[in-house]
Amino acid sequence: MPTNVSVESTSPAFLEKISAGRHSLQADEPLSAGGQDGGPSPYEFLLAALGSCQAITLRMYAARKSWPLEGVCVKLSHAKVHADDAAKCASEDRLVDRVEVEIRLIGELSDEQQQRLLAVAEKCPVHRTLSSPVQIRTRLLT
């Protein structure tokens, strides 16, 4: 089933109105980037999508297995870093996106259950989308 989101930009700054189904949100850039800090930045939304998908996936999986998972805390960060092979490329500065994810599982889980849940987190739908080739087609509406 397709997911539909619309973003409307009418402010002279970077404050964006987002409609996602019946939900209204807003995105902005921080003050340091010329925004008004009126909402999460696009990268913060991206991290929130990944973190929430991982937490939901873990809760669903543990519930199906009747494992005693009481809660999940996911902390994420994003940075542009030099690619591992950049040292081999003297003429170019190559940066890649790196997302760091830390997951805390709450509940009386065995080591084996914790390791299985860690593997499951990396298979959540948003993680798979971000880890695979994505086709983005942009067109102008008239």
Each residue's pLDDT tens digit, 68-121: 999 999 999 999 888 875 555 555 668 889 999 999 999 999 999 999 999 999
Report the distance separating Cα 12 and Cα 46, nearest Å: 24
Burial of 87 (0-12, 13-18, 19+ CB in 10 A): exposed
Of 33-42, 85-94, 102-111, 133-142, which range is least confident? 85-94
Please report the pLDDT score of residue 13 as a whole number.
Answer: 85
Please report the pLDDT score of residue 83 as a whole number.
Answer: 80
**Residue 1 clears pLDDT 70, i.e. is over it:** no
The domain spans of the chain are 1-40, 41-131
Report the distance separating Cα 75 and Cα 47, nearest Å: 9
Q: What is the CATH number of domain 41-131?
A: 3.30.300.20
Tell me the backbone φ, ψ of residue 81, rounded to 5 degrees.
Answer: -130, 160
Tokens of 56: 């939901």
Residues 134, 94: contact at Cβ < 8 Å?
A: no
Report the distance separating Cα 6 and Cα 114, nearest Å: 38
> Model-level pTM greater than 0.85?
yes
Report the distance separating Cα 26 and Cα 3, nearest Å: 18
Tokens of 142: 């008239």
Please report the pLDDT score of residue 8 as a whole number.
Answer: 95
Using the structure block, give the residue that is written with the tokens 């543990």. 62
